[in-house]
Amino acid sequence: MGTGLTAGVERTGVLEPSEEVRNRLEQLRERPIVLSAEGITKQFGSGKRLVTALDDISFQVHRREFLSILGQSGCGKSTMIRILAGLEKPTSGQILLDGKPVSGPGPERGMVFQAYTLFPWLTVKKNVMYGIKVGGQSSSEAERQAREWIDLVGLSKFENAYPHQLSGGMKQRVAIARAMANRPRILLMDEPFGALDAQTRGQMQEHLLQIWKSIDVTIVFITHDLDEAVYLSDRILVLGANPSCVADLVENPVARPRDRSQVVQPEYQSVLGHLNDLIHPPSEKSEFPVKIPRLTTVGDDVE
């Protein structure tokens, strides 16, 4: 499969984008490639217990792109983003940043995890200040910069609160501010909204899009939620499973700016249906995997 924007990608079932969206995708194609995965394979164990989690994964991410990586639970998405972050090493293949091999974590790549990773003994402000101070800034400068990021994520009134005093969505906004405070070029997000309720998740998606539009940052976003991938992304990398490989690289035909009214549009529904067929092939949907005995005899057939 090609690693360019459209090379080698079949778009069966996805409506052709409008001229406006085609122009936006063309502009994306012309931007520099900031991050590349080349033939990434990751194996665990050895001998008869050898498991291949990722099998020859290749793709590219352009500057200011919002790329989602989508796949079933257990397909290796989190392993892939940890390799991008330099937190794990591939068995073979390499990650390139601006064409240069990546060998470990670096300040140019910020990371937001699904689990709440704030320091519980520090306030919101001091959590955000932490990385800035580690980077060598004075306390006064770190405080000034931290307040800017806290204001950007809409938590100025809570700068002196502790994590246990915040909701789940607020904690993740602090995590985003802390990751962005080091001014990374690439923000890596591993299912950051997966633990949130539906309403809060929707709010966080809106917050993230606003932040992305305001800052020069490229986002790689892991999710297993099809609707989330369509709503947020420019392109969607779909991973198959057992072992994980690239199933498709889908250009999103939905116009920006995005709003919830678009979910009923043909373009939105076409890409959503295409992703559903990739993640859940018809052969897997033909029969419920578990036979459930009938446990009621009241005679009110619900089908």
Expressed as residue numbers, the domain containing 50 is 19-108+184-278
215 in any annotated domain: yes
Give the strand order in the sheet containing 66-70. 109-112, 186-190, 218-223, 66-70, 235-239, 246-251
- What pLDDT is attached to residue 241? 81
Mean pLDDT over 65-88 rounds to 92
240 in any annotated domain: yes
pLDDT at 282 over 90: no
Nearest of 233, 230, 228 to residue 218 by alpha carbon: 233
Q: Which two tokens stand for residue 18?
A: 């409008």
251 in any annotated domain: yes
Please, are residues 248 and 11 in contact by the beta-carbon 8 Å criterion? no
pTM value? 0.88
CATH of the domain at 74: 3.40.50.300
pLDDT at 64 over 50: yes
Residue at token pair 């949130």:
196
pLDDT at 6 over 70: no
Query: What is the domain count for the chain?
Result: 1
Higher-confidence residue: 288 or 187? Answer: 187
199 in any annotated domain: yes
Q: What would the pLDDT profile of 227-262 be if each residue is shown by its tens digit? A: 999 999 999 999 988 778 999 999 999 999 999 999
147 in any annotated domain: no
The bridge status of strand 66-70 relative to strand 235-239 is parallel
Q: What would the pLDDT profile of 170-229 be if each residue is shown by its tens digit? A: 999 999 999 999 899 999 999 999 889 999 999 999 999 999 999 999 999 999 999 999
- Average pLDDT score over the chain: 88
pLDDT at 42 over 80: yes
Distance CA 149, CA 256 (A): 25
99 in any annotated domain: yes
Mean pLDDT over 74-101 rounds to 93
| Percentage above 70 pLDDT, the chain | 89
Q: Confidence class of residue 7 from pLDDT cuts 50, 70 and 90? A: very low
142 in any annotated domain: no
287 in any annotated domain: no
Kindly give, in sequence order, each residue whose CB lies less than 8 Å from that of residue 155, ignoring residues fewer than 6 positions away: 124, 170, 173, 174, 177
- What pLDDT is attached to residue 69? 96
- What pLDDT is attached to residue 297? 65
Please, are residues 57 and 39 in contact by the beta-carbon 8 Å criterion? yes
Which bin fits 298, alpha (ψ -120 to 50), beta or left (φ > 0)? Answer: alpha
Q: What would the pLDDT profile of 107-118 be if each residue is shown by its tens digit? A: 899 999 988 889
Q: What would the pLDDT profile of 21-41 be if each residue is shown by its tens digit? A: 999 999 999 999 999 999 999
Kindly give, in sequence order, each residue whose CB lies less than 8 Å from that of residue 197, ignoring residues fewer than 6 positions away: 168
- What pLDDT is attached to residue 9? 38
